[in-house]
Amino acid sequence: MKMPMTIYLDNNSTTAMAPQVLDSMMPFLKMEQHFANPSSSSMLGRQVRNALEKARISVSGFLGARPAEVVFTSGATESNHTAILAALSLSRGKRHIVTSAVEHPSVLLLCQHLERLGVEVTYLPVDTEGRLDLDTLRQALREDTALVSLMWANNETGVIFPVREAAEIARGAGVYFHCDATQAVGRTHVSFAAADVDFLSCTGHKLHGPKGVGALCVRKGIELPPLFHGHQERGRRGGTENVAAIVGFGTAVEQFSDLPGELRHLAQLRDHFERGLQAIMPCARVHGQGAERLPNTSNIGFLALDGEELLFRLEQEGIVAALGAACAAGSNQPSHVLTAMGFSRTAVLSSLRFSFSRLNQLPDVDYLLPILGGVLLDMMHLPQPSMATANPSVSCLS
Ligand code: PMP
**Which atom of ligand 1 is least distant from the CA of 80?**
10
| Residue 95 shares a structural domain with residue 161 | yes
Query: Are the beta carbons of 45 and 37 closer than 8 angstroms?
Result: yes
User: Could you tell me if 168 and 227 lie in one domain?
Assistant: yes
Give domain status of residue 390, yes or no. Answer: no
Q: Among 254, 288, 307, which residue terminates a domain?
A: 254
CA-based nearest residue to 335, from 360, 313, 318, 352: 352
One domain for residues 125 and 23: yes
335 found inside a domain: yes
Contact 184, 200 (CB under 8 A): no
The 8 Å CB, 24+ separation contacts for 234-240 are: 234/68, 236/71, 237/71, 237/72, 237/73, 237/82, 240/37, 240/38, 240/39
Residues 240 and 268 in one domain: no
Here the CATH number for the domain that contains residue 267 is 3.90.1150.10
Distance from residue 396's CA to the centre of ligand 1 (Å): 36
Same domain, 25 and 106: yes
Structure-derived torsion over alpha carbons of residues 153, 159, 160, 161, reported in degrees to the nearest 10: -100
Find the domain containing 303 and state its range: 7-15+258-379
CA 114 from chain center: how many Å? 23
Same domain assignment for residues 155 and 265:
no
CA of 214 to the centre of ligand 1 (A): 10
Picking from 208, 229, 254, the residue at the C-terminal end of a domain is 254
- On whether residue 297 sits in a domain, the answer given is yes
Shared domain for 148 and 281, answered yes or no, is: no
Ligand 1 — pocket residues by CB below 6 A?
A: 75-77, 104, 106, 151, 155, 180, 182-183, 203, 214
Cα-to-centroid distance, 162 and ligand 1 (Å): 19
Number of Cβ within a 10 Å radius of residue 312: 11
Show pLDDT as tens, one digit a residue, over the chain (398 residues). Answer: 555 679 999 999 999 999 999 999 999 999 888 999 999 999 999 999 999 999 999 999 999 999 999 999 999 999 999 999 999 999 998 999 999 999 999 999 999 999 999 999 999 999 999 999 999 999 999 999 999 999 999 999 999 999 999 999 999 999 999 999 999 999 999 999 999 999 999 999 999 999 999 999 999 999 999 999 999 999 999 999 999 999 999 999 999 999 999 999 999 999 999 999 999 999 999 999 999 999 999 999 998 999 999 999 999 999 999 996 555 545 568 999 999 999 999 999 999 999 999 999 999 999 999 999 999 999 988 887 765 455 556 655 43
Domain C-terminal end among 254, 269, 292:
254
Please check whether residue 220 lies inside any domain of the structure: yes
Ligand 1 nearest-atom number relative to CA 205: 15
| Rounded alpha-carbon distances, angstroms, from residue 167 to 161, 179, 339 | 11, 9, 26
310 shares a domain with 198: no
Alpha carbon 221 to its chain's center? 27
Active site residue 202: no
Number of domains in the chain: 2
Q: What SS3 state is found at 298?
A: strand
- Cα 251 to Cα 239: distance, rounded to the nearest angstrom: 22
Question: Do 115 and 248 fall into the same domain?
Answer: yes
Query: Beta strands 120-124 and 96-100: pairing type?
Result: parallel
